[in-house]
Amino acid sequence: MTPERYPSLAHWGAFTALVENGKVVRCEAFDRDPAPSPLLASIPAMVHSPLRVERPAVRDGWREGKPRTGHDAFHEVSWDEALDLVASEIARVREKHGPTGIFGGSYGWSSAGRVHHARTLVRRFLFLGGGCVDQLSNYSFGAAQFLLPHVIGTFQPVAGRVTDWPSLLKHTRTIVAFGGLAPKNAQVGSGGVGAHVLEQWLRRARAAGIRIVNVSPLKSDVPDFCDAEWVPVRPNTDTASMLGMAHTLLTEGLHDQDFVTSHCSGFDTFADYLIGRADGVEKSAGWAESICGVPAETIRDLARRSAAAPTYLTAAWSLQRAEHGEQPFWALIALAAMLGGIGRPGEGFGFGHGSMHGTGVPRVPLPGPDTPLPKNPASCTIPVARIADMLLDPGGAYDFNGKTYTYPDVRLVYWAGGNPFHHHQDLSRLERAWQKPETVIVHEPWWTPTARRADIVLPATTALERNDVGGSSRDPYVFAMHRAIAPVGEARNDRDIFAGLADRLGYGDAYTEGLDEMDCCRLVYERLREAAAARAVELPAFQQFWAEGFVALPKPDEDFVLFEAFRRDPEKHRLATPSGKIEIVSATVAGFGYDDAPAHPAWLPPQEWLGAAGAERFPLHLITHQPARRLHSQADPGPVSQAGKVAGREPVRLSPRDAAARNLSDGDLVRVFNDRGACLAGVVIDSGVREGVAVIATGAWFDRAEQNGALEVSGNPNVLTRDVGTSRLAQGSSAQSTLVEVERFVGRLPASRVLAPPAFARTEAPARA
């Protein structure tokens, strides 16, 4: 039998699904992709996984208010019963507690398609129904999102365009990459990936003679073929190293005084800080060495080389996912300003080249496919990383970006798309917070850790069980996503689930607007087509696009250089800052009066780092990074992720010396722990890991052996991370500011329970009083 073929798209790549007898048997990568992601191999197994949620289910014990343990039994009910139950709960909470009694949770990575984008759909449903508590920002670059507008008037260099790779290849002599340029991170992109090209650009950079400097605790953050210079900095101390470089530029007269005078605001105050006039501490390379562990001469030499030839500075998103995470991004901009290359081809700064697909990839300036949202009548949001705070402290005050807010009293959590028991920090604390709502409703294709902690679980389809249109503003392709198979079990797509609920709640017509699935696909594409036409880019009609399966956008006519117009004429092209310039010192931030976010880049030691008092108790700094074998926690039960486990658990990478000091060998099963919790992991000894550092990828499915603070058995490092905001300015995630210890695991190995569905009992679901 010849398999049927259906084009589709995932966040980790475009592909064709091959279907036989109604099942996905294989996924063939897009033929224009030079480096397809190995993650494609997990798709068939996950689509037909025994972990699929096949029917609506209700948690036993919900009606009695019993705790959500993650190991509860469920009973399956009909769709009519489930939708009636959900609709009545929403109506009950709205009537008693108003719109701020409902929290609309999602994290946007559920599908590369924009029609069935769960985060958009759950918000649309709740907004049209009267509003809800919404989430603001993200875990990826939350600190940068709220800092950068104060410094450069926009956060575009994180979320949007930066100087593109062709410009770097032609003009750059040195790339200094704080946090590296890891191709494993660039294999994924929100909205999908047409062609994985970071490796190509890095190889071309090496061939062009560009020297890459990898300032990171991990040598592997830049591929070996780049022959990069490795500067193994202590985690969380990049700001100190940058300040040491800035001090060298200043005291040796290597900085561009004309640029910092004409295009920047506040440099003299920052210079006083560097030489110690402000606080009596000179931020010299020697001072920086005592903090970051990089020899002073290395810091001075790097500063001199950066000033001597065209240099591009870039920082990974991970640097700002730390306590005081705003500071390294601000310091990088100040350092780039002192070098004077901002706005010149191949110079200046950017963020995220090694963090996600598409950064620096040439693309015409068009939006990606998208679906607009109505306004939220509740006008209530919280920073995304403050979920546990909100649930644990209703009515509590918190500072954020210059204002003081109050946490709402949430009684119902409605989650569609995403897994907070992966993304969030200090999962023991989140478990406690998760007991506070009266009801938790989740849409999920699989029995994830979040679904297991829900009261009502509604089975959602995967991308291959529906039609959609996918693409992003960072990738030069747009894809038709054809339905390849019938829904597994009784799964329904999120749009249809919400349409059924909206009908019951009296606003079904407003939700659907009379459009079916294919109408929506056409509408999403036509919006993009109209935007392209406005820029004289002609895209084919929808019928041709759908039949051919994709459209490729033309290459841009010229290289893009970040802030080129601003450099050319800083008056005509003023930045959206109060001064119109780059604010090395921000009077606005100073006015907030935050002791954890001063008016200019500064070294502020986090509570947990290798130089902290008492660090000998937990002497390893834990780095938690994006996994190479899955996207976040997606497809962790799949074959690609499972093949990378060690001793059946997530690997922990240690330096040879750190492993030897603990009498550990490759493959040993260990307990990684601190005062917040403990998890199991399998040892991998890696000479490319800085001493004093432990590395565990995020995303192992959270699997608590028992309640009451017992061991996590899969290797999820977020049982260890600290749940505090980066600062009162941005309230981002501080996952990278974590100290731990590692010891050999002794005792009976707890069984893992997340790779099998929960227990079921087919009973009727009683209505909640």
426, 721 in Cβ contact below 8 A? yes
Q: Does residue 594 carry a catalytic annotation?
A: no
Give the Cα-Cα-Cα angle 293, 294, 295 (nearest 5 degrees): 115
- Which member of 6, 107, 330, 609 is catalytic? 107
Question: What does the DSSP assignment read for 132-181?
Answer: -EEEES-TTTHHHHHHHHHHHS--HHHHS--S-HHHHHHH-SEEEEET--
442 strand-pairing partners: 415, 457
The encoded tokens of residue 394 equal: 């209703």
CB burial class (10 A; 0-12, 13-18, 19+) of residue 395? exposed
Report which of 313, 482, 478, 412 is spatially closest to residue 85, judged by C-alpha positions.
412
> Which residue in 477, 375, 410 sits closest to 112, CA to CA?
477
Question: How far apart, in Å, are the Cα atoms of 364 and each of 88, 165, 428?
Answer: 47, 14, 45
CB 266 within 8 A of CB 600: yes
Question: Which parts of 365-464 fold into alpha helices (H)?
Answer: 387-392, 420-423, 427-434
Which residue, chain included where needed, has tokens 């492993």?
A: 659
Separation between Cα atoms, residue 284 and residue 633, nearest integer Å = 42
- Name residue, tokens 């679901």: 765
- Vertex 647: Cα angle to 645 and 652 (nearest 5): 65
109 a catalytic residue? yes
Catalytic residue selected from 6, 62, 109, 414: 109
Q: Element (H or E) spanning 768, and its range? A: none
Say if strands 403-406 and 439-444 run parallel, antiparallel, or are unpaired: unpaired
Find out whether 483 and 521 touch, Cβ atoms under 8 Å.
no
The catalytic residue positions are 107, 109
